Chain A
Amino acid sequence: MASTFTSPDLDQRIELAVQDLEYRTLSAIDSALARLVYLGSTRDYNTGRYHHDGLVYRFGEDAAAAALETCHRQAFQTILLAPLRTLAQEVEIYLNRTEDPAKTTDAWRRLKAYQLLVPVPCDPVSASLFSANIQLALGTLIVRQTARTVATPLPTGH
């Protein structure tokens, strides 16, 4: 974890790695939720360790992992503090860019894959609020989709 490193050299490398990550990679991802998903995916599900080949090559393994964790926490905080309206837009943009938005929406709703996006450690209240907000954002999308389906008359085939 970033907080456990004390060496000044390492601190400097972490800072540079964070800047590099923001400049080269994160700036190219225009949605806050997509950034969070990307950063969450750099964490190994088995070990909880962050990894990014390019960052390791330039800044070393510890600095790279700490930089990824720092950015992951920031991205999580951004989404956590976003109003529901903004989050619903973020979720809609993210899902619409996937191969099959309907399937992904359904998978997110049923499998709750978004729970893997929570950084560790995280206080239980923030983790619970994050899950609740994503569920509500998905709920608003489903409600809107249902309303659109009802409002659009079925093709008659003529």
Chain B
Amino acid sequence: MIIAAIAIAAGIVLALVIWSLLTPDNGFMRQLEDPSARLLPSQDVVNAMFNEDDRDFIVRQNSPELLAILEAQRRTSAKLWLTGIRFEASEALREYRTTIRKTSSVSFTEELRVLSHAFRFFALHSLVSVLVRCTSVFRVRNLLKQLYGLSEPIMHLGPVTSASFS
């Protein structure tokens, strides 16, 4: 019974990862054609984006329309950020595959660490992408922050930093 549940959960996560990888955000991809726009915001901006105080402030205005606008706009920002962070993580991993592996000897354990970390990142990314589409982003803001934390070592994959990869 437990094994079946684990297998189903793993299947769902895998399906989400595949779905997430197969559905690029065309709007964001178009923006990425401009190399100067290929930047991700700092963690401070991500924290500000999902600041619960902003929601409380809008709730106090007693305007359901304004609250709906806030939720919709934060959802748009979150989706934009999720697409950007996935793109950058994929690029960093691709670069790692093509350059780091060829130029320096990477141990099997190190490879396994990178792989497991990347899998955790993409699995959480897929889960958050689904949740952002069907619930308030303020409810998943801790997951979004967790995702930012998981992305950091991937973005800094390289001959020096990969040694401290954990």
| Residues of A that sit less than 8 Å from B by CB | 80-85, 88, 120-126, 128-129, 132, 135-136, 139-140, 143-144
Contacts and interface: CB of A to CB of B under 8 A. Distances in A.
B161 interface: no
A83 B45 CA distance: 11
B84 A143 contact: no
B135 interface: no
Contacts of A82: 48
Interface string B52-82: 0110011001110110011001101100110
Contacts of A83: 48, 51, 53-54, 57
Contacts of A85: 53-54, 57
Interface in B21-74: 28, 31, 36-37, 39-41, 44-45, 48-49, 51, 53-54, 57-58, 61-63, 65-66, 69-70, 73-74
Given A125-B81, A129-B41, 5 more contacts: A80-B48, A123-B39, A123-B84, A128-B80, A136-B66
B76 A128 contact: yes
Interface of B: 28, 31, 36-37, 39-41, 44-45, 48-49, 51, 53-54, 57-58, 61-63, 65-66, 69-70, 73-74, 76-77, 80-81, 84
A139 B66 contact: yes
A123 B37 contact: yes
A121 B45 contact: no
- Main SS class of interface, A: helix
16 contacts: A81-B44, A83-B53, A83-B54, A85-B53, A88-B57, A123-B39, A124-B84, A125-B40, A125-B45, A125-B49, A126-B41, A139-B66, A139-B69, A140-B66, A143-B66, A144-B61
Contact of B80 (A124, A135, A143): A124
B63 to A, nearest CB: 5
A140 B63 CA distance: 9
B84 to A, nearest CB: 6
B61 A128 contact: no
A115 B30 CA distance: 19
A135 B69 contact: yes
Nearest to A143: B63
Contacts, number: 80
A121 B37 contact: yes
A140 B80 contact: no
A132 B31 contact: no
B46 to A, nearest CB: 8
Contacts of A80: 45, 48
Contacts of B45: 80-81, 125-126, 129
A84 B54 CA distance: 5
B76 A132 contact: yes
Contacts of A120: 36
Nearest to B81: A125
Contacts of B70: 136
